[in-house]
Structure 1
């Protein structure tokens, strides 16, 4: 897929946005998890603090005592990660898990329990609940503080477990959403693929207009393209009519010049021959200019195709009726499926000039052969005549005559080359195995059906 592909750019942009959204979602879920873990831990610690507060008593010397310790074994394991402590002024009662250290939470205010951060006996971070407590006879209460704390490393382990599950889940979700959005983009761009195929059918000549069955967002573009096709068709008709009028208007003056040349022939043969030659040259230039006007009017937007074999057979039948044509052996080997990327009139102009040139120069044989393979097509016209030199072949493009012994202006093959190149074909010349001139007309194989694949 090319870098400037709209589908690629939309897909990459969508993938980037999905990745960003999932990253933000993952970060948000992690923050929510931390808050939930803290709230749940604080609630559990507060319940344990209430349990301990219900079991606290004061000794005769005012020291706090506890009738029964909480059952969690971590309270009995040194640095077990779960700690409790009861403070009665300077007297402190603590769990075995604190070993010989105490929790320093500083002063807490108020009668409600508070959640604070503390440093554990092994230097770890703790989340702690400090619950105030008053015991003793009314009026002589002793104020205590019950502290229960848990090491945050246990919470970190839970968080790590959550992330180990979250990351693959988000990655899988990214893949699923990216594929879904890629399919969505592919589907959304389907009208443009259909439009491209329909335009290909117009280029191939199997359709003259684009269908109107498109979504509302694409229909204005289709309407503009159809208006362009209609305008080109009208311009083509006008150009052909103008070319025909021009040809008709110039034929008469050229015919008059030719008649004057013949009339003055006996009196001044040199002048007569020069006038006749210039009249023929002017006729050739007019023919070439008109041919260029016709193919330029056709343009490149709406390419029509035609089958080669029927045109070749009709032209050969015509050549047989021309002088010297009935004495030649004509061989045609053109596949029925071979198609030329132009109108039938254009192919007749190209192939007709090539066959006419072969008729004039061939001794006994003329061969027409066609082939199509690998997406390319070839049409070859060759004869057993004297052939042409490289200098003469180079002069074809300029309309120069390479031999004055045959009638003609020298513009026929040059016109054939112009018409062929306008259709996207290439015309090349060389030496034939038969000894004469070989003309190779090559082009890219046009679409067979032109039917859009949706």
Structure 2
């Protein structure tokens, strides 16, 4: 698909925005979870610290003791990840069994300092989240300060974080899929007017209508209006061209008829040379008029929105007409054209093309004329071959405006020039070379085609 496609551009932009939104959302949710998880852990550790503060007792000799052990069993398991430590006067301390033979590095604060949390090194090279507070006891002597620290291994927090991510990532992927489906539906709806416009244009190309529908959004309406004006202008120009071509043909018929009568009168008076000169000029003018009319008709038919026609029936009809000529009955005519092949143009122009090309082949063929055609992508490829003498590349170059190939036979080369004009009017191509099988001239045409269901 082309990078200039609006669908590709919108799809890529939507995909990038969805990926960016999911990435930022995932990052934000992870940061929020980490912060809330740490706040919750600090709150739980502070509860343990308050419980320890209520249970701690300092004897007269400064010995520390607890009236009751904390209920959490992790405090009794060595290196379980949850620890407590109480530091009293005289360097005495009391630790949870989970610390075993290690201690939490603390820096006691002055009494009355609010509790605070910090990260400290723990046993077995672990990182601990520690909550510490300094409290004053009333017994045995008022004002005795003890420092309480409760810590949690960061591995526990990381385990919760991994559990959260294991749920977050699939959730974000599912959300991304839903957003992609929603964006695809949105783009589909947004581009619907352009698909409708393309359908209308195809209908115009097929000759089924001559105007685009105005039932479009306001953003597309100016384009539709301009296209409708362009189509109307083209139709008017084609009609003017048709009228002018008809006027030209009718306007020249009378002078040509008068000149023909003058030639007959001169011949009757014995002025044979003058009559021949007049006849030659009349024929030349007639050929030029025919060529101009053919080009005008081709230009009209090749414009936007003309019907297509089947190639095989036109070819067979032309061959049947040529077979009625005396010198064509003895020739072997081979026609190989699929019934589904269609030409995107006027049937009359196609018949004139076949007539000129097959008539030229008839004049030069010794025993055989071959016509075959096939689809080539969006085009129709037509090949006409004969077993005559053919022509060289230099002779083929002579078939141009106003020049004939050979004056020895009537009309030779002029029909090919008209055929070339018709092909060029349809933006096709024509080529001349020697037939590898028959040995005579091979003419290859490339014309616009249409699929069988185009109309």
Gaps of 5+ in 2: none
Contact 1:79-1:99 within 8 A present in 2 as well: no
- Describe how 1:48-67 pairs up with structure 2 within 5 A: 48-67=48-67
The residue number in structure 1 matching 2:32 is: 32
Q: Using a 3 Å threshold, how does the CA distance of structure 1 residues 275 and 38 change in structure 2: closer, same or farther?
A: same
The residue number in structure 1 matching 2:418 is: 415
TM-score, length basis structure 1: 0.82
The residue number in structure 2 matching 1:128 is: 130
**Higher normalized contact order (CA 8 Å, seq sep 6+, divided by chain length):** 1
Contact 2:112-2:135 within 8 A present in 1 as well: no
Contact 1:57-1:65 within 8 A present in 2 as well: yes
Contact 1:204-1:447 within 8 A present in 2 as well: no
Contact 1:281-1:409 within 8 A present in 2 as well: no
- Describe how 1:42-121 pairs up with structure 2 within 5 A: 42-76=42-76, 79-95=79-95, 96=97, 97=99, 99-107=101-109, 110=112, 112-120=114-122
Q: Using a 3 Å threshold, how does the CA distance of structure 1 residues 137 and 279 change in structure 2: closer, same or farther?
A: same
Q: Please state if 1:405 is matched with 2:405.
A: no
Q: Deviations over 1:229-270 (max 9, x none)?
A: 222111111111112222333344455555556666778766
Q: Using a 3 Å threshold, how does the CA distance of structure 1 residues 79 and 312 change in structure 2: closer, same or farther?
A: closer
State the secondary structure of the residue aligned to 1:149.
strand
- Describe how 1:195-234 pairs up with structure 2 within 5 A: 195-212=197-214, 214=216, 217-234=219-236
The residue number in structure 1 matching 2:13 is: 13
The residue number in structure 2 matching 1:281 is: 284
- Range that drifts further, 116-125 or 14-23: 116-125
The residue number in structure 2 matching 1:339 is: 342
State the secondary structure of the residue aligned to 1:150.
strand
Contact 1:204-1:446 within 8 A present in 2 as well: no
Q: Using a 3 Å threshold, how does the CA distance of structure 1 residues 259 and 402 change in structure 2: closer, same or farther?
A: farther
Contact 2:64-2:94 within 8 A present in 1 as well: no
- The separation in 2 between residues aligned to 1:331 and 1:184, in whole angstroms, is 59
Q: Using a 3 Å threshold, how does the CA distance of structure 1 residues 187 and 68 change in structure 2: closer, same or farther?
A: same
- The separation in 2 between residues aligned to 1:423 and 1:44, in whole angstroms, is 85
- The separation in 2 between residues aligned to 1:149 and 1:166, in whole angstroms, is 28
The residue number in structure 2 matching 1:357 is: 360
Q: Deviations over 1:341-379 (max 9, x none)?
A: 211221232223234434555567766555558766454
Report how far residue 75 of structure 1 moved.
3.4
Report how far residue 296 of structure 1 moved.
3.2
Q: Please state if 1:2 is matched with 2:5.
A: no
- The separation in 2 between residues aligned to 1:410 and 1:251, in whole angstroms, is 24
Q: Please state if 1:153 is matched with 2:150.
A: no
Contact 2:426-2:448 within 8 A present in 1 as well: no
Report how far residue 274 of structure 1 moved.
5.0
The total of aligned residue pairs comes to 450
State the secondary structure of the residue aligned to 1:396.
coil
- The separation in 2 between residues aligned to 1:212 and 1:435, in whole angstroms, is 57
TM-score, length basis structure 2: 0.81
The residue number in structure 2 matching 1:396 is: 399
- Range that drifts further, 350-359 or 213-222: 213-222
The residue number in structure 2 matching 1:192 is: 194
The residue number in structure 2 matching 1:292 is: 295
The residue number in structure 2 matching 1:249 is: 251
Report how far residue 305 of structure 1 moved.
0.9
State the secondary structure of the residue aligned to 2:226.
helix
Q: Using a 3 Å threshold, how does the CA distance of structure 1 residues 352 and 211 change in structure 2: closer, same or farther?
A: farther
Q: Using a 3 Å threshold, how does the CA distance of structure 1 residues 62 and 13 change in structure 2: closer, same or farther?
A: same
The residue number in structure 1 matching 2:451 is: 447
Q: Using a 3 Å threshold, how does the CA distance of structure 1 residues 99 and 80 change in structure 2: closer, same or farther?
A: farther
Q: Using a 3 Å threshold, how does the CA distance of structure 1 residues 282 and 15 change in structure 2: closer, same or farther?
A: same
Contact 2:360-2:412 within 8 A present in 1 as well: no
Contact 1:205-1:304 within 8 A present in 2 as well: yes
State the secondary structure of the residue aligned to 2:70.
coil
- Range that drifts further, 275-284 or 20-29: 275-284
Report how far residue 125 of structure 1 moved.
3.6
Q: Using a 3 Å threshold, how does the CA distance of structure 1 residues 364 and 99 change in structure 2: closer, same or farther?
A: closer
